[in-house]
Amino acid sequence: VGGSVASLYSEDFDIVEVRGTIQFSVNYVQKLKEFHIFVVQCRELAVADTKRNRSNPYVKSYLLPDRSKAGKRKTSVKRKTLNPVFNEILRYRVTMATLQTQTLNLSVWHNDPFRRNSFLGEVDVDLSAWDFRNTHMNDFPLKPRITSSLQPSDYRGEMRLAVRFLPQLSHTIRTANTGELHIWVKDCKNLPVIRPSAVDSYVKCFVLPDTSRKSRQKTRVLKRTSSPIFNHTMVYDGFRPDDLPEACVELTVWDRDRLTSHFLGGLRLGLGTGKSYGEAVDWMDSNAEERALWEQMMASPNEWVEGALPLRMLTKAKNLQKQVQHYLL
């Protein structure tokens, strides 16, 4: 399945003292449904190549929170200058509704063909508050990257959901004295836009270790929005209280294209112990927030427990019983 993701912050780079400015303008072309960033120039950039007292700058853009490779745009490299003139347009095909949920990130880099690239500074523009009638040139001072303030490199938006366990609801012979697990997928926010058109998303659920067709449930597809409202409840029966520490609810969000589906992000609700029914498994990897929601549900039978959790990249999950894989990337 397509949709591999490269992080904005996973790039290995050298850091120099940030200085200088960047001049650009932005414009939304309604007829084309395109967002244009006209990168004009940078002034008085820092020196990355100290031996030759020069830099080879270029400008890179993202529409955050999308940090995918498909969401990256770049200018050409201007060599041996601290005052590069670009006069280039970076284009995104995106709806205005989606654009107003995003942040424009422009970063300046020194290109070194033999070593790591050097970060020369960046600016962030909150497009939700931007006046798109303003098509004038803007001069922004470049700012250093403060690592501690950045989102995690695998941030993929967030999901709001609620879960509850209803014990001893089943009375058939096959499922005697067992209960039901309810998973209420409410909505997602800030899903990454990895295609030129808007996101057509749906949520898929497995309760691991079972990855069979019977375990799989899905929401409907919601088109052309990066913040879909699903309001969909999934019900799994046959659960005993002592199954809950061994199970893991895996929720993944997908962008449905005509020929395939692209993975956008996911989460796993469980205890994160790395084991299930005594066997070591790689999918029992819930983080602290996911684990806290699951523990709260286990401690509060019959009650809905709600949370808003960040989506993240997931490893492949392997079925312990059938030794088959379903792919998340």
| Whole-structure pTM value | 0.55
Average pLDDT of every residue of the chain: 84
Q: How confident is the model at residue 272 (pLDDT cuts 50, 70, 90)?
A: very high
Asked, for residue 8, whether it belongs to a domain, the answer is no
Write down which residue in 149, 171, 201 finishes a domain.
Answer: 149
Q: Going by C-beta distance under 8 Å and a sequence separation of 6 or more, which residues neighbour residue 291?
A: 270, 271, 272
Asked, for residue 2, whether it belongs to a domain, the answer is no
pLDDT at 98: 84
pLDDT tens for residues 301-311? 999 999 999 99
Q: Kindly report the number of other CB atoms within 10 A of residue 231's CB atom.
A: 10
Reading phi first (left if > 0) and then psi (alpha if -120 to 50, else beta), residue 204 is in beta
Could you tell me if 212 and 257 lie in one domain?
yes
pLDDT at 129: 82
Give the whole-angstrom CA distance, residue 234 versus residue 206: 10
pLDDT tens for residues 27-75? 999 999 999 999 999 999 999 988 888 899 999 999 887 777 778 999 9
Residue 18: closest CA among 167, 140, 126, 134: 140
pLDDT at 150: 38
pLDDT at 220: 96
Could you tell me if 141 and 173 lie in one domain?
no
**What number is the average pLDDT over the span 156-176?**
78
Give the whole-angstrom CA distance, residue 175 versus residue 237: 8
Give the whole-angstrom CA distance, residue 167 versus residue 178: 6
Write down which residue in 100, 119, 149 finishes a domain.
Answer: 149
Could you tell me if 188 and 321 lie in one domain?
yes
Write down which residue in 120, 149, 178 finishes a domain.
Answer: 149
- The domain in which residue 186 lies consists of 158-326
**What number is the average pLDDT over the span 182-186?**
97
Q: Kindly report the number of other CB atoms within 10 A of residue 131's CB atom.
A: 6
**What number is the average pLDDT over the span 230-242?**
94
pLDDT tens for residues 77-101? 999 999 999 999 999 998 888 888 8
Could you tell me if 101 and 243 lie in one domain?
no
Could you tell me if 139 and 185 lie in one domain?
no
Q: Going by C-beta distance under 8 Å and a sequence separation of 6 or more, which residues neighbour residue 173?
A: none
**Bridge partners, residue 95, by sequence:** none
Q: Going by C-beta distance under 8 Å and a sequence separation of 6 or more, which residues neighbour residue 241?
A: 165, 167, 179, 298, 301
Asked, for residue 99, whether it belongs to a domain, the answer is yes
